[in-house]
């Protein structure tokens, strides 16, 4: 669909007390082409638009739908989230065969592509942004066979001028 604007953001903890995970609810708004109306109803575009692209009835408010879709993917701010629930659709016709689409999404914020999770340090209720990670010295978990101790030894050798 393209770019969307965040209208509302809510964070919460989800799950049993001993294994709670960070969850996010977003309300988003985007402008889309009239073709998006076909996903909701084949005849909707002919009902709300005149043949020249003008909105048929200017006093009509947004048209709401009770669809709830599950297991979608959301690409946002350089991150990919899977298992996203999309719901509470509202379509608002605009002149020029455009439609304002408002909808809500819910997902577990720690989910990453491939099922990996972002590290949430003890005492924190959200993942640590890269800028804050650099400022506080927090690092992402190392991947592959390189352990943290191995990296520390390598850094010490490099700092002391050793090979």
pLDDT for 36 equals 92
pLDDT for 16 equals 86
**DSSP bridge partners of 28:** 6, 103
- Residue 37 pLDDT class (50, 70, 90 cuts): very high
pLDDT, average across residues 24-53: 93
pLDDT for 124 equals 47
Per-domain residue ranges for the chain?
5-115, 136-160
pLDDT for 79 equals 84
pLDDT for 103 equals 95
pLDDT for 144 equals 43
- Please determine, for residue 131, whether its predicted confidence score (pLDDT) is greater than 90: no
- Please determine, for residue 145, whether its predicted confidence score (pLDDT) is greater than 60: no
SS3 for 70-136 is EEEEEEECCEEEEEEEEEEEEEEEECCCEEEEEEEEEEECCECHHHCECCCCCCCCCCCCHHHHHHH
Q: Who's near 121: CB < 8 A, 6+ residues apart?
A: 128, 138
pLDDT for 17 equals 84
For the chain, give the mean pLDDT: 78
Percent of the chain beyond pLDDT 90?
A: 44
- Residue 113 pLDDT class (50, 70, 90 cuts): very low
- Please determine, for residue 135, whether its predicted confidence score (pLDDT) is greater than 80: no
pLDDT, average across residues 121-127: 48
């Amino acid at each position: 669909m393209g770019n969307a604007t965040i209208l509302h953001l809510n964070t919460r903890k989800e799950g049993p007390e001993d294994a709670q995970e960070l969850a996010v609810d977003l309300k988003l708004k985007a402008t889309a082409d009239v073709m998006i109306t076909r996903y909701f109803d084949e005849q909707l575009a002919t009902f709300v638009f005149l043949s020249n692209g003008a909105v048929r009835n200017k006093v009509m408010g947004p048209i709401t739908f009770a669809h709830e879709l599950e297991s979608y993917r959301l690409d946002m701010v350089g991150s990919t989230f899977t298992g996203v629930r999309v719901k509470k659709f509202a379509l608002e016709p605009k002149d020029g065969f455009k439609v304002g689409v408002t909808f809500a999404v819910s997902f577990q914020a720690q989910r990453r592509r491939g099922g990996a999770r972002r590290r949430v340090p003890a005492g924190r209720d959200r993942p640590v942004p890269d800028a804050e990670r650099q400022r506080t010295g927090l690092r992402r978990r190392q991947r592959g066979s390189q352990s943290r101790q191995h990296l520390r030894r390598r850094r010490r050798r490099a700092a002391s001028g050793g090979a």
